[in-house]
């Protein structure tokens, strides 16, 4: 075990030391926080596959180096892309590479600090940075990206924000996160809950994409089961009594959930539309 852990630990220390040195040498907040190490092409391909990049996507690579991820997204998957790098030499290389690949109509490269980059237009963000930088970026990604947007990081994770998927390519690790909709709070359905049409409310707690909670019917609290939140798609199962299954599936849009509930009782199954609205406390 030590054989693997010590070299890895030393590698992290060296990378951090190089960053500190580079920051001191170049001075100030605009110095690169991360040294330039390009992602191998096979790993780039897998990152884009994992994010399921399509021509509808706008991909941002934060710290884009020679632009290979943005260029591959445009060339191989038809996406549009923006690469951001603090180092002017990297930006010149990226622009020359885009020209050579014939994708200058779909990509642009900006020389700027990744922390000063507005990410609201991005549907996919790729990273090959450092654990500390990923952590600094985490709240920005969760705040600026729309639910369902994907974040893919080569090699480094996001601490207690667990990835939705992890893939290995040789010695390289790739992590995928899907930006979750914000669902925490109390939700009230204007129409009563099936099958007995009792008024019901939904109480949800959330940490990133992990959601738990209860459905309150007639003063009873029924725990939610099989809860799944992926982007804006939300699903859970409730068993109000024996042999009665209610499966709720909804799309979350701000303070409204719209979908349906599937009711399975004994041998019959049927569906009913379902809508819920988040209550805002007046306190
Ligand atoms: C490990 S390389 C990754 C390059 C590319 N994304 C890839 O995967 O091939 C990190 C890149 O981040 C850039 N960088 C470091 N600090 C930055 C900052 N504060 N803002 C923008 N780019 C930065 C470096 O210049 C370098 O090109």
- CATH code for the domain in which residue 100 is found: 3.40.50.150
Give the distance from CA 17 to its chain's centroid. 29
The total number of residues written for the chain in this structure = 283
How many angstroms is it from 263 CA to the middle of ligand 1? 51
Average pLDDT over residues 236-244: 91
93 shares its domain with 224: no
User: Tell me, what's the pLDDT at 32?
Assistant: 56
Q: Residue 251: is its pLDDT beyond 50?
A: yes
8 A C-beta contact, residue 58 and residue 81: yes
Angle at CA of residue 184, ends 183 and 190, nearest 5°: 70
Residues with CB under 6 A from ligand 1: 32-34, 36-39, 61, 63-65, 68-69, 84-87, 90, 113-114, 128, 154
The token pair that represents 72 in the structure block: 């591959």
Q: Residue 83: is its pLDDT beyond 60?
A: yes
Average pLDDT over residues 186-201: 82
Task: Confirm whether 15 is domain-assigned.
Answer: no
200 shares its domain with 150: no
- The C-alpha atoms of residue 31 and residue 67 are separated, in whole angstroms, by 19
pLDDT-derived band at 282, boundaries 50, 70, 90: low
8 A C-beta contact, residue 122 and residue 73: no
Q: Residue 255: is its pLDDT beyond 80?
A: yes
How many angstroms is it from 49 CA to the middle of ligand 1? 21
Average pLDDT over residues 90-109: 98
46 shares its domain with 147: yes
Where helices occur in 55-154 by DSSP H, the ranges are 68-77, 88-101, 131-144
Q: Tell me which of 6 and 37 has the higher pLDDT.
A: 37
164 shares its domain with 194: no
221 shares its domain with 168: no
Task: Confirm whether 240 is domain-assigned.
Answer: yes
Task: Confirm whether 129 is domain-assigned.
Answer: yes
Average pLDDT over residues 193-219: 89
166 shares its domain with 201: no
pTM of the predicted structure, to 2 decimals: 0.88
User: Tell me, what's the pLDDT at 17?
Assistant: 46
41 shares its domain with 170: yes
127 shares its domain with 264: no
The count of domains in the chain is: 2
Q: Residue 8: is its pLDDT beyond 50?
A: no
Residue from 86, 133, 174 to probe ligand 1 pocket by mutation (most atoms less than 8 Å from CB): 86
User: Tell me, what's the pLDDT at 12?
Assistant: 44
Q: Helix, strand or coil for residue 256?
A: strand
Task: Confirm whether 196 is domain-assigned.
Answer: yes
Q: What is the CATH number of the domain that holds 265?
A: 2.40.128.30
39 shares its domain with 164: yes
- The C-alpha atoms of residue 167 and residue 46 are separated, in whole angstroms, by 8
The closest of 121, 129, 206 to 161, measured between CA atoms, is 206
65 shares its domain with 147: yes
Domain end point (choices 162, 178, 194) = 178
Task: Confirm whether 226 is domain-assigned.
Answer: yes
- The C-alpha atoms of residue 234 and residue 183 are separated, in whole angstroms, by 9
pLDDT-derived band at 142, boundaries 50, 70, 90: very high
Q: Tell me which of 31 and 80 has the higher pLDDT.
A: 80
Task: Confirm whether 238 is domain-assigned.
Answer: yes
The token pair that represents 146 in the structure block: 């729309």
pLDDT-derived band at 3, boundaries 50, 70, 90: low
Averaged pLDDT score across all residues of the chain: 89
- Domain region containing 110: 32-178
Q: For the chain, what is the radius of gyration of the CA atoms?
A: 23
pLDDT-derived band at 1, boundaries 50, 70, 90: very low
Residue from 38, 42, 47, 85 to probe ligand 1 pocket by mutation (most atoms less than 8 Å from CB): 85
pLDDT-derived band at 194, boundaries 50, 70, 90: confident
pLDDT-derived band at 222, boundaries 50, 70, 90: very high
Domain end point (choices 141, 159, 178) = 178
pLDDT-derived band at 20, boundaries 50, 70, 90: very low
204 shares its domain with 91: no
108 shares its domain with 141: yes
Q: Helix, strand or coil for residue 74?
A: helix
How many angstroms is it from 117 CA to the middle of ligand 1? 13
Task: Confirm whether 24 is domain-assigned.
Answer: no
How many angstroms is it from 31 CA to the middle of ligand 1? 11
User: Tell me, what's the pLDDT at 19?
Assistant: 44
Average pLDDT over residues 90-118: 98
How many angstroms is it from 34 CA to the middle of ligand 1? 6
Continuous segment of H or E residues that includes residue 46:
helix 41-50
Domain end point (choices 123, 156, 178) = 178
Closest C-alpha to ligand 1, atom 2? 36
Q: Residue 203: is its pLDDT beyond 70?
A: yes
């Amino acid at each position: 075990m030590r054989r693997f852990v010590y070299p890895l630990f030393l590698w992290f220390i060296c990378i951090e030391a190089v960053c500190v040195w580079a920051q001191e040498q170049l001075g100030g907040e605009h110095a690169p926080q991360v040294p330039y190490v390009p992602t191998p092409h096979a790993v780039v391909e897998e990152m884009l596959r994992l994010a399921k990049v399509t021509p509808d996507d706008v991909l941002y690579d934060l710290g884009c180096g020679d632009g290979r991820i943005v260029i591959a997204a445009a060339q191989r998957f038809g996406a549009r892309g923006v690469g951001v790098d603090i180092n002017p030499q990297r930006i010149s290389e990226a622009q020359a590479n885009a020209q050579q690949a014939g994708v200058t109509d779909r990509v642009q490269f900006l020389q700027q600090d990744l922390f000063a980059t507005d990410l609201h237009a991005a549907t996919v963000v790729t990273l090959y940075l450092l654990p500390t930088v990923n952590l600094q970026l985490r709240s920005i990604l969760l705040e600026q990206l729309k639910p369902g947007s994907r974040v893919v990081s080569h090699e480094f994770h996001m601490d207690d924000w667990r990835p939705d998927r992890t893939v290995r390519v040789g010695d390289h690790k790739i992590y995928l996160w899907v930006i979750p909709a914000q669902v925490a709070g109390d939700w009230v359905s204007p129409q009563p809950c099936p099958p007995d049409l009792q008024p019901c409310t939904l109480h949800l707690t959330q940490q990133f994409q992990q959601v738990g909670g209860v459905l309150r019917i007639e003063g009873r609290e029924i725990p939610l089961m099989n809860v799944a939140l992926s982007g804006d798609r939300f699903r859970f199962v409730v068993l109000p009594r024996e042999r009665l299954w209610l499966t709720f599936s909804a799309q979350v849009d701000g303070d409204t959930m719209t979908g349906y509930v599937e009711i399975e009782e004994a041998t019959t199954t049927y569906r009913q539309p379902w809508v819920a609205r988040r209550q805002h406390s007046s306190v």
